[in-house]
Structure 1
Amino acid sequence: MVKNTVLISIIIIIIIFGLQLIRQDILLSSDFSENDVYSVYNYNESFKLKEHEKEYFEKNSHLILYDFNDDYALNNIKIIFDYLKIDYDVRHTKEVIDLDSYETVILLEQSSNSDISKLEIFDYVYTGGKLLYLSNGDKLRNDLLYTNAENFGINNIYTIEETNYIYFNTEVLIGLSGKFDLVDNQFEDDKNFMYLDVDVDDNVLIHMEEDSGSPLLWERDFGSGKIQVLNTGKYETKEIRPLIVGAFSLLQDMFIYPIINSEVLFIDDFPADYKSEHEVIRKNYGRDFERFIKEIWWPDMIDLMTKYDLKYTSAYIQSYNDEVIGPFNYNESTDTTTKELVTEILKYDGEVCFHGYNHQSLLYKQSSADKIGYKSWPDEEKIVESISSSVSSFNKLFPKYDFYTYVPPSNLLDNDAILALKKAIPSLRAISGLYFGELDDYGTRNEDIMEQEIGISSYGLVDLPRITSGSFLNDNMKYKIASLVTTHGLINHFIHPDDILDPDRSLNLLWEELYKEKDNFFGYIDETYNWIEKDTAANAAEKVRQMHYIEILYREYGKQIQIACDNFQEEMALILVTDKEIVSSAKCTYEKLGANRYLIVMHENKAHLEVR
């Protein structure tokens, strides 16, 4: 009996082992070796509207009006309006301006003086105009908020205050409502908002307020027009951009703007050389790091991927040596693991992008490299040689694969090194640095970090910066996610396989706890923003390329909203802001996102919506 039991056990083990070998052989022999992009945008082949077609649509023009030189704030607003494809002019208050020719005036921190009096801006609003005033009264004691308090619905004015605690009464940002604590645990003294503490009339609509009740964004009717005040200060920062977009949107009777409509998830340093020993891994999981990645971490990440229908964009790195001169060798025994992991990434419609031959950032100045303990590269030739060697080795495993996206190690990259990148990777179409930049240990902006805008660079590559990172969901994370969803319809997050080895990234939690945190994070996104398409970085980059060239035209005609897109190719996602209800559509689809927002996906370059 015992012999039979042993024999049966041996047979079962052999069968399981055999099935595993068969599965592995199938994976390694399957041809998931091409980097298929959903749709490469080609401006020359896009659908162009004829001039007589454009004439049907009357574009509303808006005015950005300023008094004193605040280039950072002014440029920030211009960047936002360029994103939104808003037709606008920029004028100084000293100029003679016919305000009635503009749908909206965006006024930046204005003193009460003869120039603004001549413009009769409150008369413009009273007769039907719209005013968005960006001011917290901190620069000028004779700011309009003080001298014309009654027109803004202000009863009492107190002092300038700072806060990180806010409350949304309406959905200014897509997906956010209620109270938020935006304290940064590392830099607790930094405040996101600087506001003028005021009391306002009961008939004022407060969209957003400080936790104690002082209004930060409010709106009031003024005659036949509307006045809105964004009382947050720091109008030069990226963190305030979504509030400007939200405020401007809420002020319009109808507003349509293009979005990327992509959720991108990067896994940095994956695959990589994981042949190493770490006490925390050996003690808790009885394995070396490579086996931990293959047998525990990656299977769990696949579970999250299938649970939330994610698409991974992994950032491949060949070695962790510090070689910048050559020869550019690597541990060839890692090829088997690399092939297994990459095959599975591609099998699940993911993307492998290029991270580097090694983790030495492409920097020419040693002074910059010294800050993170790296080596600088001597010249372009060595950068090209190292990358070409790594790409060649990768193509021995996946002969048909082209890299489309590059992630700079440690988010550092010299602009001059981009030319070397393009030489070594001719297929390159996008670079992903950081959107919000990074603070140094003293809480100041790290100037060496590759901080990007979203768009097309002077090198012809798409800038697709990562926005958020890590495992933990908090109010700060929710605010940043909602910010870029509101302005761009983009979620771009990154994580690392070795988070468990870094106390700052893991908060000393083991993988089981980190997995729960990631599950909570992706669950929140899935519940709050499940309308956003899951994309690889390459797919999202092509959407950015189309968004760069697209022109959106629209009008209300009877009970229809008619929309047309110039330079259109295949599909284009839009956000429509309106109080009207959509009842049907033609040549586009729609989905309600909140009280007054819709997602519109154009399937042809001209479409219409029936509303009531």
Structure 2
Amino acid sequence: MLVILCVFMMMAVVLFAERSGIQYTEKNRKVAYLDREEVVTEQTAVKSLTKTCLVIRNSADEASEQAWTQFQQIFKDMKVGTDVVDLQSDSVIPDYDEYETVVVLLSDISPLKEKLLELCDWVSEGGNALFAMTLQKTAYTSIIEQKLGIISSGYENTVVDSIYFEPDFMLGGGQAYEITDPYDSAWSVQLSEQAKVHAQVEDENGQPVIWENQYGKGKFVVDNFGLYEKAVRGFYAASYSLLTDVGIYPVINGSAFYLDDFPSPVPNGDGTYVKRDYEMSISNFYMNVWWPDMLELASDHGIRYTGVMIENYGDATDGTIEKQKDTKRFEYFGNMLLHQGGELGYHGYNHQPLSLPNTDYGDVLPYDTWKNQSAMKKAVKELVRFGDKIFPSTSMSVYVPPSNVLSAEGRRMLAEDFPQIRTIASNYFTGEFAYVQEFEVAEDGIVEQPRIISGAIIDSYMKMAALSELNMHFVNSHFIHPDDLLDEDRGAALVWEKLKGNLSDYMDWLDDSAPSLRQLTGSELSGAIQRYGAVTFTKTVTDQEIRLELDNFYDEVYFMVRINEGTPGDVSGGKLTHLTGNLYLLKAKEPTVTIEKTE
């Protein structure tokens, strides 16, 4: 009740300020952009990595190729230097002693022949190996399965319809996560009591899908869930961190919630359900119900929204510009968002993506293309002018493509002609015409900041992806449109109270799973991405301490640290926060960080 009262008091204050001609200015950012000239891109940073991991793959095998596609990015983001052997073209496997870890991306390990037993001997002497793909039952598998912690196995596989993660293994663990389009992807095995299981099918008593087994002085880790896609990268990162005495990799540490098409004119759409449930016009519903509810959610969870603005919903793409004259709605909602601690960015002059006639949307998207480059540029210039006029004390730097669609020509134009745009926030996953991104800084200095999940119907796939990204990049990025309530495909028929409950449940899950996750705006998250992408590190582990020497360090950066052997003590040059089990979040404040070991 108190929160609701505060929300309405804020609305009254903003309404008074608006009518008095007062403009709110944005608050100081928690994480500022680095200068373009100073930033080392991830692409450049990884060139200096020491090759500590040997990857064995087979390009003739489709599943191995799928796995390698994901592991290439996983290793790049974790800052793991690799040498890669392709059994299809390479006849020689290097000496395992040259590496700290070996990752085997093979289902059929028969082609390794005698090198398989050499790998086992190497692990026995202190090496660390990850079998990252579901293994096939063969004569060669039978030779080594006891070394992997397996006491019996069959030729059949088990359907992986959900995965339960142990609470001390991953953030968000302690529950099962449903798998979309499951199939029989897990090898049916029974493990010895010595093997330590980290994830199972369905519940804590199900078929093991991630486990580790000590073998001699070294360790095997086995991934047995058989999914090789972007939405599960964090599961592999967590598995890899089980290898060696200390597993460590840089993370972003940030959560951003976007409001696309906000502020904007009154959204077009079918107000049937709004009328049915609230007996209000669309405009009154957004002002009196939706926005107060969104502010209440933000207050409950410490969220500061990033709203990206649409000037109008016209369809003109010929370069004709019609300036928005009714600015009251923009001023009201925009100033409230700024007062709440949020941030404003760009979405579009209208809702037509920046694409030229060489793009054919067909029947997939209901959009027109721009007549030419000049028309496209005029539209963005008008959007920038409009934003500067309405919010003169606010610097906008984040651009979200309409419907997450952005052509190569549009992307190039933004970089060349609009230097105030420092961030493009689009899609993490593929979709028709979608501008798909990784978390990185592009060579032209623009920060690529993908959004992971969307809307208020958080389905099983989104939940799995959110879990994965908490453990891969320690990041959350979500967007929602105000006009979701006008579209049945986005949940209009479910009633806003139900959709609001879904959002609240997701935010609760995020708070419970990752209480150390920073709530950031779009530009702040980009500042964090710049720092995460640039940093590389050298790790030295002794009986007394864990020592990190950082390169491309600016002011602060975060790492996931899994301490598999020993207990951490005092920290110099940073701060260590316990997350779960033997997993910690390290905030590095200096280029040299030392973690004492107490045992």
What TM-score comes out, normalization by structure 1 length?
Answer: 0.86
8 Å CA contact retained: 2:531, 2:556: no
* Matching of residues 16-95 of structure 1 within 5 Å: 23-25=16-18, 28-32=21-25, 38-42=31-35, 61-69=52-60, 70-92=64-86, 94-95=91-92
Distance 1:258 1:551 in 2: 8
Change (3 A) 1:144 1:79: farther
Change in 2 beyond 3 A, CA 1:574/1:175: same
Query: Is this contact kept in 1: 2:198–2:210, CA < 8 A?
Result: yes
1:349 corresponds to 2:341: yes
CA distance in 2, matches of 1:208, 1:515: 31
Query: Secondary structure of 1:61's match?
Result: strand
2:173 pairs, out of 168, 173, 176, with: 176
The match for 1:166 among 163, 167, 183 is 163
Tell me by how many angstroms 1:226 deviates. Answer: 1.4
Partner of 1:271: 263
Picking from 576, 584, 588, the partner of 2:570 is: 584
- Contact conserved, 1:158 with 1:198, CA < 8 A, in 2? no
Q: Which amino acid aligns with 2:445?
A: G
Identity of aligned residues (%): 26
How has the CA–CA distance of structure 1 residues 41 and 145 changed in structure 2, closer, same or farther, with 3 Å as cutoff? farther
1:572 equivalenced with 2:557 (yes/no)? yes
Quick one: structure 1 residues 401 and 363, their matched pair in 2 at CA, closer, same or farther if it must change by over 3 Å?
same
For residues 578-600 of structure 1, what are the alpha-carbon distances to aligned partners after superposition, in whole Å with 9 as ceiling and x for unaligned?
Answer: 04333322231221000111111
SS of structure 2 residue aligned to 1:346: helix
Displacement of 1:422 = 2.9
1:380 corresponds to which residue?
373
1:483 is paired with a residue of what secondary structure?
Answer: helix
Question: Aligned ranges for residues 60-139 of structure 1 at < 5 Å?
Answer: 61-69=52-60, 70-92=64-86, 94-109=91-106, 111-113=108-110, 115-118=112-115, 120-137=118-135
Shift of 1:25: 3.8
Q: Determine if the alignment matches structure 1 residue 228 to structure 2 residue 225.
A: no
- Report the secondary structure of 1:29's partner residue: coil
Does the C-alpha gap of structure 1 residues 203 and 510 become closer, same or farther in structure 2, counting only changes over 3 Å?
same
Deviation at 1:144, TM superposition (A): 4.1
Aligned ranges 1:121-520 → 2 under 5 Å: 121-137=119-135, 142=138, 144-146=140-142, 148-154=144-150, 155-169=152-166, 171-183=168-180, 190-191=181-182, 194-211=185-202, 213-235=206-228, 237-274=229-266, 278-333=271-326, 335-364=327-356, 365-368=358-361, 370-438=363-431, 446=432, 448-473=433-458, 476-506=461-491, 508-520=493-505
The Cα of 1:164 is off from its aligned counterpart by 2.0
CA contact (8 A) 1:35 1:351 kept: no
CA contact (8 A) 1:112 1:147 kept: no
Deviation at 1:284, TM superposition (A): 3.5
2 CA distance for matches of 1:280 and 1:132? 52
Deviation at 1:423, TM superposition (A): 4.3
Moved more, 200-209 or 565-574: 200-209
Q: Is the 8 A contact 2:201 2:207 kept in 1?
A: yes
Q: State the Cα distance separating 1:430 from its structure 2 match.
A: 1.4
Residues 574 and 26 of structure 1, relative CA distance in 2, 3 Å threshold: farther
1:79 positional shift: 1.1
> Quick one: distance in 1 between partners of 2:363 and 2:28?
36
Unaligned stretches of 5+ in structure 2? 1-8, 41-48
Q: What letter is aligned with 1:609?
A: I
Give distance in 2, aligned partners of 1:331 and 1:192.
52
SS state at 2:360 partner: helix
Runs of 5+ in structure 1 lacking a partner?
A: 1-15, 48-57, 184-189, 439-445
1:113/1:497 CA distance change after superposition, 3 Å? closer
Structure 2 distance, partners of 1:461, 1:19, is: 38
Residue aligning to 1:527: 512
Aligned-partner Cα distance in 2 for 1:224–1:422: 52
CA–CA separation in structure 2 for the residues paired with 1:135 and 1:583: 36
Higher mean alpha-carbon deviation, 238-247 vs 206-215, is at: 206-215
C-alpha distance 311-145 of structure 1, shift in aligned 2 (>3 A): farther
In structure 1, what residue type is equivalent to 2:531?
A: Q
Rg: which structure is higher?
A: 1
Q: Which moved more, 1:80-89 or 1:155-164?
A: 155-164
Task: Determine the C-alpha separation between the residues in 2 that align with 1:395 and 1:372.
Answer: 30
TM-score (norm 2): 0.87
Deviations for 1:345-390, whole angstroms, at most 9, x for unmatched residues? 1222211111111111222234226421211122211110111112
User: Residue by residue, what CA displacement relative to the aligned partner does 1:506-564 show, whole Å, maximum 9, x if unpaired?
Assistant: 26232233323322222221222121111111111121112221112232345332223
Matched, 1:598 2:592: no
Corresponding letter in the other structure for 2:146: E
Q: Is the 8 A contact 2:457 2:490 kept in 1?
A: no
Cα distance in 2 for partners of 1:272, 1:121 equals 60
Name the amino acid aligned to 1:342: G
Change (3 A) 1:304 1:22: closer
Distance 1:28 1:232, change over 3 A: farther
Tell whether the 8 Å contact from 2:308 to 2:346 is kept in structure 1 after alignment. Answer: yes
CA offset at residue 169 of structure 1?
Answer: 3.4
Mapped partners of 1:161, 1:272: distance in 2:
50
CA–CA separation in structure 2 for the residues paired with 1:19 and 1:117? 76
C-alpha distance in 2 between matches for 1:22 and 1:240:
45
RMSD: 2.8
Change (3 A) 1:217 1:464: same
- Relative to structure 1, the CA distance from residue 20 to residue 232 in structure 2 (aligned partners, 3 Å threshold; closer, same or farther) is closer
Aligned residues between the structures: 568
Q: Is the 8 A contact 2:405 2:434 kept in 1?
A: yes
